[in-house]
C-alpha cells in the first residue's frame, strides 16, 4: 500500500512563473490537506479538500494560490506568478473517512523561487 505521493520533490521557478504541485493520497483516502513550511518554521495549514470540493481554504493566501482535487487524478496546488516569499516546503496529507483518522504526510515538494 503506497503512502502519500507528491511530485515533483523539488521545483525551481523564476519569479512570475507558475508552480504546480501534485499530491496523490493514500489508496482509499478521499480527504486531502495542504500545509506549507517556511524555512525554520512549523507547518501551517493551507487548504482542506475532499473529492471535487474545497471544504476549508482559510489558510490559503487570497491571491495567486488555488487548489483542486478532481474526481479522477491527484490533488493540485497551483501558485501563479510566484514570488521569492513562496519558497517553502509544501506538504500534502491524506486521511480516511473518519474525522478522527490520522493524517499521513507525503515527502513534500520543496519550491525554490529564484
Partner 1 sequence: GEDVEQSLFLSVREGDSSVINCTYTDSSSTYLYWYKQEPGAGLQLLTYIFSNMDMKQDQRLTVLLNKKDKHLSLRIADTQTGDSAIYFCARHAMEYGNKLVFGAGTILRVKS
Chain residues binding partner 1 by CB under 8 A are: 31, 33, 35, 41-45, 48, 55-56, 58-59, 91, 93, 95, 99-100, 102-108, 110
What minimum distance in Å lies between the beta carbon of 111 and partner 1?
14
Nearer to partner 1, 13 or 90 (CB): 90
What minimum distance in Å lies between the beta carbon of 76 and partner 1?
19
Peptide bond before residue 113 is cis, with ω within 30 degrees of 0: no
What minimum distance in Å lies between the beta carbon of 40 and partner 1?
8
CA–CA distances in Å: residue 114 to residues 11, 15, 40, 47, 91: 11, 6, 19, 25, 20
Sign of CA dihedral 99, 75, 92, 90: negative
Nearer to partner 1, 42 or 72 (CB): 42
Backbone angles phi, psi at 92, to 5 degrees: -110, 145
Nearer to partner 1, 53 or 80 (CB): 53
Distance, CA of 33 to chain centre = 7
Question: Parallel, antiparallel, or unpaired: how do β-strands 65-68 and 43-50 relate?
Answer: unpaired
What minimum distance in Å lies between the beta carbon of 29 and partner 1?
13
Nearer to partner 1, 72 or 99 (CB): 99
Amino acid at each position: 500500500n503506497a503512502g502519500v505521493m507528491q511530485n515533483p520533490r523539488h521545483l525551481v521557478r523564476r519569479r512570475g512563473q507558475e508552480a504546480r504541485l501534485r499530491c496523490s493520497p493514500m489508496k482509499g483516502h478521499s480527504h486531502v490537506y495542504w500545509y506549507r513550511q517556511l524555512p525554520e518554521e512549523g507547518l501551517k495549514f493551507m487548504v482542506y479538500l475532499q473529492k471535487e470540493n474545497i471544504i476549508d481554504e482559510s489558510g490559503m493566501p487570497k491571491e495567486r494560490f488555488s487548489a483542486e482535487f478532481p474526481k479522477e487524478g491527484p490533488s493540485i496546488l497551483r501558485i501563479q506568478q510566484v514570488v521569492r516569499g513562496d519558497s517553502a516546503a509544501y506538504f500534502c496529507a491524506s486521511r480516511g473517512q473518519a474525522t478522527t483518522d490520522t493524517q499521513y504526510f507525503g515527502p513534500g515538494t520543496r519550491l525554490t523561487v529564484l
